[in-house]
Structure 1
Amino acid sequence: MEANFAKGKMITVLSIDGGGIRGIIPGTVLKFLEQKLQDLDGTQARIADYFDVIAGTSTGGLVTTMITAPDKDNRPLFAAKDIVKFYLDHAPYIFPQKKSCYGMSNLISKVTNFFGQATGPRYDGNYLRTMLNEKLGDLTLKQTLAYAVIPAFDIKLLQPVIFTTNDAKSNELKNPRLADVCISTSAAPTFLPAHYFETKDSNGGTRAFNLVDGGVAANNPTLAAITHITKEISVMGNSDYINIKPMDTRRMLVVSLGTGAPKNDEKFSAVQASKWGLFSWVLDFENGGTPIVDFFGHASADMVDYHVSTFFQSLHR
């Protein structure tokens, strides 16, 4: 299906937030949407046929890759109906739950888990890396069937890295394997290990990446996607976006999917936090959470919601 922006009508954007196993939620929404599109256009219709730009962070980056990576017939590797099954099949191995030794008290179990998390990531990431390498092989970013936008964060350079299909097509050093992109954007601090890889070009040049979860910078990648489109129009002069002005939100259709929130989201008070030291900010001893990581993730996502909502409303007046 021909992209809408190539026709000069409208740019369609799908954005998927980070949220770990809660990627099941946008997966369920996309399954429903794809089924409705198939009712209209036939059983071969796929999400990537209808969105020009698909952005995803962390677990959203995995979903983005699933529905935009090509199979041997140059069609999406995964149908939307396969996303939830993917999580149900693989999540128990990506996030294995440690079993307490028989007779071990709850307190001892918590202490053991606490010190385990204090000395390394909660999960070793081996299963995730192996599985992604097997499924994606040597597919690279420039091969995606829709323009992908996937954030990560470089801890050596202390700056975000926004992986995009456009950049990958124009610069070999920005065209990593999709497996490396997925491992990087999902490397949540304290949960999964940081990811290092290099890209090479035909002239022998190399670029090194030292990456963690894109949620550190943009847990909601909507603004990153819109900014990327604006750059392609105003700076790069991308001919795909002909007849569309930068930041013309009247010509953008944006579907932004979150990953929900747990019922106990309001779980900390200023009275509690005023007594916290270093370890308490990093690890919730009682529930095994990571307060400071959660705070930054929610904050960045909510700020994007605020800015994008205000921006669209102001330009539609």
Structure 2
Amino acid sequence: YAHFDLVAGTSTGGLIALALTAPCQEGALLPQQSAPEVDAASASRKTHPMDDLFPGPDLQSIVDIYLKYGKVIFPKNNSFLQLNVIGQLFNQKYEDTSFLRLLREIFGELKMWDALVPTMVVTYDCSKDQPYIISSYGKGNLLMRQAARATSAAPTYFTPQTILDESSGERVTLIDGGVVANNPVLYAYMEAKRLYPESKRFHVLSLSTASTPYLLEADKTNTGMIGWMDPAKGAPIYQVYASSQMRTSSDIASVISDLEYIRINGELSRKIRLDETDPLILAEMIFSANEMFARQKTEITAFLAQLAQRPASPARRSLASTTLSLKQAQEQRFAIAPQPTARQKSAGTHAKQKQGAKS
């Protein structure tokens, strides 16, 4: 986490973003351990070491949230609502009691301002019909577990999350940010511009959970309203919208002049449900992720090399206070965000300031 100046995510990517920047505590997340590629890049550091930083969570323990606790989040029981499609037309597919219990175990009573670096997640405010950003620097008093629940409140799967907006004093009703920013790269870029107005260039590392193109044969498109919204088929209209939004965001990000957009992406061999918990299918996803990393390892290691050679920012070292001094960051800045797919997405950013930085 400490190599980056902004971590952003949407939906499952939002949950991962929060887990990446949460101070490590007793619970579902274990202390941080570096991947070999990070260790190799850091070995040649010519700048201030980061040994004194507060430990973040180990990435494997974040993966375990899905491998070990997926069935807790998405319980496969014999309830009437899960077996009856008609029931799903009028009710959410899952109760959130177990999910809330897991989020409490992961984040405890941590608040957004406890994030180890500036962190944001994208949600959608149904009560105002507009995107709603929850950040460590703007909505700092909100509990991390509330933010995680809001950004992952996928329509038809979970009920919306209602929170109190302290700036307005109003209650807002939030759903999964994937309905507006399945790929949150543009929102991450806008927030980075606000946080670091003197930066002259931003570098985004966008991590996808991989995707499966959502294709409909011509003779299956005339299915009527029920067909397009059928939860048994994964709500086709939502998947089409989410997939197109993801591609549009990537297309726009790739032509912004002061933005270097590095997209780590791949395609899955089969269509996978948002609530998939089958161990064999999850193993396939891990295999696909390893293949995706191998294909784009050169790009990833090049980005790591850039990170390793820049000065350690005081904004990333001064962690004694729960609030970071965002105006103190030196020379070059980076940000990262885990990015879900057509179902669940996310993004990230690295920016260089005007003061003597080279592109």
1:312 Cα deviation from its structure 2 partner: 4.7
Q: Distance in 2 between matches of 1:49 and 1:313?
A: 23
Residue 195 of structure 1: which of 154, 161, 182 is its match? 161
Q: Deviations over 1:152-201 (max 9, x none)?
A: 001111100011222235xxxxx311111000000000111111122547
Q: TM-score, normalised by structure 2?
A: 0.60
Bigger relative contact order, structure 1 or 2, given CA contacts below 8 A and separation 6+? 2
Partner of 2:281: none
SS at match of 2:84: helix
Residue 228 of structure 2: which of 276, 281, 299 is its match? 281
* Partners of 1:69 and 1:76 within 8 A in 2: no
SS at match of 1:311: coil
Partner of 2:10: 57
Q: Deviations over 1:121-159 (max 9, x none)?
A: 111122111211233222111110011120000111110
Runs of 4+ in 1 over 4 A off after TM superposition: 312-317
Identity across the alignment (%): 28
Partner of 1:222: 185
Q: Distance in 2 between matches of 1:313 and 1:195?
A: 35
1:279 Cα deviation from its structure 2 partner: 1.1
Q: Distance in 2 between matches of 1:268 and 1:213?
A: 24
Partner of 1:3: none
1:49 Cα deviation from its structure 2 partner: 1.3
Alignment pair present for 1:257 and 2:236: no
Residue 171 of structure 2: which of 208, 224, 249 is its match? 208
How large is the Cα RMSD of the aligned pairs?
A: 2.9
1:229 Cα deviation from its structure 2 partner: 1.2
Residue 291 of structure 1: which of 210, 233, 236 is its match? 236
Q: Deviations over 1:186-237 (max 9, x none)?
A: 0000111111122547xxx733120000101111111111111112344xxx
Across the two proteins, how many residue pairs are aligned to each other? 236
Q: Distance in 2 between matches of 1:314 and 1:176?
A: 30
Partner of 1:124: 95
1:1-317 matches, within 5 Å, as 48-71=1-24, 75-98=54-77, 112-168=83-139, 175-200=141-166, 206-234=169-197, 243-245=198-200, 248=201, 252-262=202-212, 265-273=213-221, 275-283=222-230, 285=232, 288-312=233-257
* Partners of 1:149 and 1:224 within 8 A in 2: no
- Counterpart code for 1:269: E
Q: Distance in 2 between matches of 1:160 and 1:116?
A: 29
1:77 Cα deviation from its structure 2 partner: 4.9
In terms of fraction of residues, the more helix-rich structure is 1
SS at match of 1:162: strand
- Counterpart code for 1:305: S
